[in-house]
Amino acid sequence: MNLVPIGRFSQLTGLSVRALRLYDAEGLLQPNTVDNETGYRYYDLKQIPTAERIRSLREVDMPLDDIRVVLHESKKAKASMEKHRGRLIERATTFKTMIDRLDKIMHDA
């Protein structure tokens, strides 16, 4: 077992210590071990792929509840990602409309 403290795990995964603590509290990515005396959290290097997946999903603004489904409910994972994809398309359409309006305002000015 290759355990590293939370700070090192943060550096290896690109997730902040604050995010790792949140993901622990939310049950998305819990440390392998927590020292009872100090409270220090240690992660196994084998957890890096899960951390990277969480980071990737957060980079596309997926909510934590949906990430939980992707990580823990494999039968529902694809549907959850497709649902989020639809939300992103809606947002992109909204932004395109806003850009078009701004272009018109700029053209008319």
Q: Could you report the per-residue pLDDT of 37-76, keeping only the tens digit for each?
A: 999 999 999 999 999 999 999 999 999 999 999 999 889 9
The secondary structure of residue 43, as a DSSP letter, is E
Phi-psi region of 21 (alpha: psi -120 to 50; beta: other; left: phi over 0): alpha
Q: Please, what are the domains in the chain? A: 1-59 (1.10.1660.10), 62-109 (no CATH)
Q: In whole angstroms, what is the distance from residue 70 CA to residue 27 CA?
A: 13
pTM greater than 0.75 (yes/no): yes
User: Which residues have CB under 8 Å from 44's CB, separation 6+?
Assistant: 1, 2, 3, 32
Q: In whole angstroms, what is the distance from residue 52 CA to residue 89 CA?
A: 24
